[in-house]
Structure 1
Amino acid sequence: MKITDVKTFLVHDRERPSRNYTFVKIYTDEGVTGLGEAGVTGRELAVRGMVESFAPILRGMDPTRIEHIWQTLWRGHFFRGGHVHSAAVAAIDIALWDLRGKVLGVPVYDLLGGRTRDYARCYCHVQQPGAGHGPRGAIDAMVDYAKGQVEQGWQFIRFGAGEGSRQGAEGIYEQSRAVRWTVEAFGALRDAVGPEVEICVDFHQRTTPPYAIELARELQPMRPFFIEDPLRAENPSEFAYLRQHISVPIATGEQLPSKWDWRELVEQDLMDYCRVDLCICGGLTEARKVAGWCETHYIEQVPHNPLGPVSTAACLHFDLSTPLFAVQELTWRPDILADIVTTDMRLEGGNLYSGGSPGLGVELDDEAALAEPYQMAGTHILRREDNSVSDW
């Protein structure tokens, strides 16, 4: 079997107009195809260009040599690394695993060692952008939505720190105000959903160390499941300073593009949960290596996944086959792009199940994908009140 072509489909999301998806499809001379997805939202055109530069290398290669292809695409050029490069490799890698499973007639989780659990428990986002009037109204809208999700069976929920303070239409993010709003919001959520439901708080790298410490200490008595990305990703050693001052669990890593970037966080035990993004960090091949490394430090996996159905399927097979797994981020729902990408996944009460189809259980309709072409999204930049830039 040989690869005959590699195509990138940039698909606009009708329901969420600010979002596009990057799907990569691999074709073979035996008619079997594989489907992958890339991350790095907002850089879809750059990822497509990278995949196009890989296409001449891939044509004629044996698609079953997944590790060899990964090494070729990563190390076969003098300039390597970075988010666009790793996201393009990730999409191709995921497509190759999907293709391999189809050829052998088994789900990808069987290729990864078989299921270690029956389903992946998930958390949903409960903040409601634009809902409610003012900061308190945003909290009330979030609480109402969270209660509805819990009634449907969700046992894990997540919201973003400060995302109802003045962030919305004004695009203003002041740390002190965000800290106060987040503490009030967490308290309201805890009162509404009770002690058994787990609450995750995403700091989204917007807090400097002093504010991250202040907020983490304020939240600690209310028992967050974890705080996510309390600091920026450029300097992982700063998490050592954070560790000295807080005791709540830390989840981080969604921006890291390769296994080499995880070294300090893993080896120095600077995190409790690994937020690897399969569609940024080199695909299933690379994510499995990161997970194995984390296992030696008893760090559980919480894959980052704000993307579409193919990313979700890849995460599910990863979750099912990974021994140390905690919970899966899930923004995808079965009706999203259902006419473009079919899947065998089943969502029941916050738990995600695989249908056990060969490969990842996903199929892309090429013509339907072309009918929803890429649309350039507007740039959203957060600022402080003095008009200086705040971390997004």
Structure 2
Amino acid sequence: MKTTPLSLALAACFLSSGAQAATDAELLARIDRLAAELEAVKAELRSVKAQATPPAPITTTAATTPAATVPVPAAPGAYAQTASASGANPTSLFGYGEVNYNRPFRNSSDTRMDVRRAVIGVTHQASERTRIVGEFEFEHAVASATDSGEVEVEQLYVEHRLNDNVGLKGGLFLIPLGTLNLSHEPLSYYGVERNFVETAIIPTTWREVGLSTFGVTDEGLRWDVGLTSGFDLNKWDKTSDEGRTEGPLAAIHQEGSQARGHDLSVYAALDWRGTPGLAVGGGVFSGKASHKVNDPSTANAGVYAPGARVTLWDTHARWTPGKWDLAALYARGSISDTDQLNVQLAGGTPVPKSFFGWYTQAAYRLWENGEYKLSPFVRHERFNTGATYAAMPAGLEIDPLRTEKVLTAGANFQVGGNVVLKADVQRFVVDRSRDRLNLGLGYQF
């Protein structure tokens, strides 16, 4: 039994009364004093409890002002978190944007300032286990028939949790390969521009229409598997250099726009985060890309490669010990059955048999003061959008492209948790005309 000042007082009172044979009047007086002290103790306890308990939040119903929430980008198998208020179904907004400045060293007249992208998203918690997500992107400030800007639906899907560890998703969603597809907001990566491996080899942001199931285990293993639309090789344009400069998959992705669906694709991704500060993962995506099309209205006027299959895989790791942020990624893709196709494309841009890229990156939180953080970084990349080509008849042989090497060095200056200023210099080994200075402003909410 725990001894308290009150119990000691009571014991002393009764011992004293027994020793001195106190009168009834004295006992009653002592009881009155003890009762008064007890009430004082109770009052003090109520005061302490009131100070320790925060005031109850003021909530509103969905019919008046929806509760504001900030969605958390979900890694493979993770659920985006939303807050509910008094059982209401909240609708929340999120978004991000980038304004960039690019100044080439060798041709300063080609300096550009660009509203690279502005994204707005809506998340609606339809029920305790079901949410609806829409994300819409505006690129290059102006979109019209004569401008290079675009307006596109980046995501549009419904997600339902079967339980705390497993969920289902259907609609237009991002494919969980690489590190940038699921987390590509400006504060999520170093440098003004997204790295070349995760743009030219792994498309970013890469979305498909389909169904997926995902989850997470108690050991920190996140998994995500799905059946989706895939690439359309009929979109390859031999008169365009896009397949080499932007990447082969960027030239044939469908983005959920009247996507051909005869040939479906499958993917699987794993991500382990069982040790604090360490994330290791990888994934694979594969599917046929001909869709049995032999239509003169297609870009290649009837080109048909019935066995063509696109396969892409990656492996990546990130480690954040102390103030360091270390990352590495390798990705490799292939397009099969392209020999006859490239014969028909002779004289134009051929379709590669394989393409690859990798990078290593190191950043360090050099200075931090309140809401300000300065993190210098350096990144080394190698990538090749045409590493090998299928065997061709004599006289039509295709030489592989040279592997580009890029060194990027700069810093991110973070202002609070939602704004970042960026600066870096990029040096290229093969195409030195691309050497440049980049400045950027980014935000997210």
TM range (shorter): under 0.3
Q: TM-score, normalised by structure 2?
A: 0.24
Q: Which has the higher contact order (CA 8 A, sep 6+)?
A: 1
TM-score after normalising by structure 1: 0.26
Give the structure with higher Rg (CA): 2
Please state which structure has a larger fraction of its residues in helix. Answer: 1
